[in-house]
Structure 1
Amino acid sequence: MSADSDASDIRSEGMIVQLTPPILRPYVYLMRLDRPYGAWLLLLPCWWSIALASQGTWPNVWFLVLFGLGAFIMRGAGCVMNDIADRDFDGRVARTANRPIPSGQVTIKRALAFLIFLGLLGCAILVQFNTFAIGVGVLSLVTVVIYPYMKRFTYWPQVFLGLSFNWGALLGWAAVQGSLGAAPGTLYAAGILWTLGYDTIYAHQDKEDDILIGIKSTALRLGNATRGWLVFFYGGCLALIALSGGLAGLSWAFYPALIPAALQLAWQVASVDIHNPKSCLLRFKSNRDFGLLVFAAMVVGQVLG
């Protein structure tokens, strides 16, 4: 398929792209720094968990900063790994044909070298935490490696994305508490359901191309029944977030503070048009707002009441 600049998810505007020297721009595109929403979705479960583990105080600001840097770096590494794995498929999809690897801007060898560089940066951040948290962080690599290949074998690759993208729900708690327990485990399950919802919406953008090239997704599996499943995914997510707050001992103030987040998800379900890619992309991006609302509710539950 020839690259269509109108359909492509590569955009030349934006401050980050404009400030980057041309020779480095393919690597900005490769790690999706021009589109940070995925990094937010990786980061927010980390922030939730840090807030949940704070035991009646404000979250550790230094930990929030470290996890922020780590999320953007490791999301970038995940994108590089995904693009290496999907290089033969991406060149056949209008939205992804202009990405650096299928378009020839970055070779596989250079992409692998860049992946190693990002991995080393991620390790440098991880070792700032306690030994238990380092071990939890290393275990996340299993999910990172598995996910890019799941769309070849199952209509539920979003489950494996959820396992990877929400690992921070475990790691944030481990960094604060030096242990794990029911509260972070419940939060992790909530995050997986959240990912099933937002990434099913996202996958509806590519369903026609996915059918042609043989890629599987929940968008194809659920089809026109998607809205009902979104109610299940998002409803389960909210219930488990509320339960995790109770298990962590958050005050009564957490629950009314969680209402705006619930309304945000309800808006997504009620308004999304799964046959309109622009509608799907807007609702997908809005999940950053949902995540920030949950984080705010957890902070309220720690410091009020």
Structure 2
Amino acid sequence: MGLSVCTLVRNREGHLGQLVEGLRRSARQPDELIVVDMSDTPVTIDDAPFPIWIDRFETTGLPLAEARNRAAHIARQTHLVFLDVDCIPMSACLDRLDDTLAADDALLCADIRYLGPEDARGDWREADLLKTGTRHPVRDFPMSGTRRETNPGLFWSLAFAIRAGTFEALGGFDEGFRGYGAEDTDFGFRANAAGLPLVFVGGAIACHQHHESFDPPVQHLADIVANASLFYKRWGCWPMEGWLTSFADMGLVDWTGDRLGLLRMPTVDEIAASRLARSGDTQRNVRKDHGALAIVGKT
């Protein structure tokens, strides 16, 4: 059984280089790396001891569902590991995910450690990243072994693994979710509905590289409103509740009960106020994806 690593990149070539470096140092290297490149200028990647396939995807925005499906379609191995481009896999990460997939047909999540602004900006040592990286405050990973997670709203696409045949049987990510937001939560819910276990894998650690972020992500407001509405129509509960609450507090959306409407786009000043500076609060940056959580049965 082979292992394909899939990643997407849009104008983050430096982050991509560190992801590839993590793969080079992995105890179990991938049989191939698939890169879907949505950058304004095509990326270049140094030689690696495994094949690298770059799929040039010229598009606007961030069509995440379509881009991940493109990567999975290109991949030729039986196990798929999806890593966001800002993730650096630690040496045991791929091995733990690959072994777990071999034993269990499940949807696997890797354990993320959030790095500070100055971490992994050049050469790095794994021990240093593990020492400084911050664990996620909500997602509870075991130190070793695996843990079954019963809330599909806690699936994250940041770093996950699945058998290629299972991904295909699920239909991949729903490309009806356009751009940014809720496509991964929908995937987690569909996997749960199909009876696929969600498993948190201890020891499968990837370190998330710090970058400029927005809290809430006002630059994706229109996508989030449209995708949240589609999700609610399908599942009867709202995804990204933290972000929707923030948008409502800002007067950007009307969100009442089962209704969500876009009132206006953010101003330049509101976008600037939502920006988390590269040298800003690391803990706040860790917390920002709380808005992506969805709880089964919560309306």
Q: Which has the higher contact order (CA 8 A, sep 6+)?
A: 1
Q: Same fold (TM over 0.5)?
A: no
- TM-score (norm: length of structure 1): 0.29
- TM-score (norm: length of structure 2): 0.29
